[in-house]
Amino acid sequence: MNHAQSGTTSYRIEHDTMGEVRVPADHHWGAQTQRSKENFKIGGQRQPKEIIYAFSCLKDACARANASFGKITASQAEAITQACEEIRAGKWDEEFPLVVWQTGSGTQTNMNVNEVIAHLAADHGVTLHPNDHVNRSQSSNDTFPSALHIAAVLAVTNQVLPAARKLADAFAALEQKYPDLIRIGRTHLQDATPLRFAQEVSGWRELIEAPCRMLELSLTELRKLAIGGTAVGTGLNAPDGFDQKVCEELTRLTGVEFAPDGNKFHALTSKDALVFAHGALKALACNLMKIANDIRWEASGPRCGIGELHIPENEPGSSIMPGKVNPTQCEAVTMVAVQVMGNDTAITVAASQGNFQLNVFLPVSAYNFLLSARLVADAMESFRIHCVEGIVPDEERMAHNLHNSLMLVTCLTPRIGYEKAAQCAKKALHDGTTLKEAVLALGYLNEAAYDEAVQPEKMV
């Protein structure tokens, strides 16, 4: 490699099948990476680190598989493994500068990884060719979708599900702390019949746990990889059994089980598993939106709202209104939910574009899925730590609203009938009296009978 100087930047000359390219001398990428860097100055959003790390696992596994089939030497495989371990350790993050908005197959990112691995191996005295050795028995068309599935599985397994379980546990702790507290229910934003506060919180808990079960179900398909399909699904230039061997090595490397997709023609062109998994992520985001809205409504006030919950006061809420504190964690969660819903649309449209033997919307699919996973996991952690674990019910306010509610009349229906019960509720509302006063005034029950019938703890 020739070196040159331009201004204060030192360059080396790299080449590919299209000719020579100047590459910054202090970086480990090659000609194809440099071409992509120069040709796609779009947006600035880099390929997610999760994709690069997934590629490092995949290239490591492919090298080991290739060595076992005699396609590369043991020393070449070891050099690839060493480079991949350094990449996974985060040592070379700045060597992966390419943006999301590139070729739809992700070819340039695959080559970016191949080139960096080859140059890192050269630093240790091992000569590797990015295509002939690092990319042996592979194509961008089967490596990028495989890396996408690996990254998605690891993001769900290692980020989303652990954060969700911690949040569900926080709600469970809140249930256990207030097992007998009764509050008025609300439907249609109107008063409804009573329920225990713990029962409401159990609903919030299940709103987290249910989509987690859906996510776990989605992993079955996401664990199936396109590797071994090479260019169009036929497996050209890959040895028989290569896909199985790679998946065995990946399972060992990651601790998560992966398997070859049984139909590579499906694996290269379809992103249905990603759509399904992101649908579960979206379901979780929708439920988080609902929980956050419930909490901020019930904490509204402090004097002129519902005010039945106290949430942590984390920061000043207004630049003009002194003393104002806002439900900021709830607001952050709802903004994340909106973003995830938008990401779902992008993934849905991208997955519908699997023309002929390849889907060419892979980088945008990866970007949106991994953004959703990262946002949802981070939001749940922040929400748990800075809001949910600090929720304290205002028991006095809850009791006042409970006994002031007209919907306690529901338990009188079996005794006096629906129409008379409605008449009592309307009279109390019109006259500004309590429900009890209205019932006694209309003569439908005496005081003892009313007190015996209207017991909120028997209504839950």
Instruction: Give the separation between CA 222 and CA 228, rounded to whole angstroms.
Output: 16
Catalytic-residue membership of 105: no
Instruction: Give the separation between CA 314 and CA 39, rounded to whole angstroms.
Output: 45
Contact 59, 249 (CB under 8 A): no
Instruction: Show the tokens assigned to 327.
Output: 């439900």
Q: For 372-404, b where at least 16 C-beta lie within 10 A, e where not — what string? A: bbbbbbebbbbbbebbbbebebbeebbbebbee
Contact 434, 445 (CB under 8 A): no
Catalytic hit among 10, 75, 318, 352: 318
Instruction: Show the tokens assigned to 31.
Output: 């000609």
DSSP of 125-173: T----IIIIITTT--HHHHHHHHHHHHHHHHIIIIIHHHHHHHHHHHHH
Catalytic hit among 6, 188, 319, 430: 188
Residue positions counted in the chain: 460
Catalytic-residue membership of 319: no
- Give the phi and the psi of residue 229 in degrees, each rounded to 5: -85, -20
Instruction: Give the separation between CA 317 and CA 304, rounded to whole angstroms.
Output: 16
What are residue 99's DSSP bridge partners?
46
Residues involved in catalysis: 188, 318
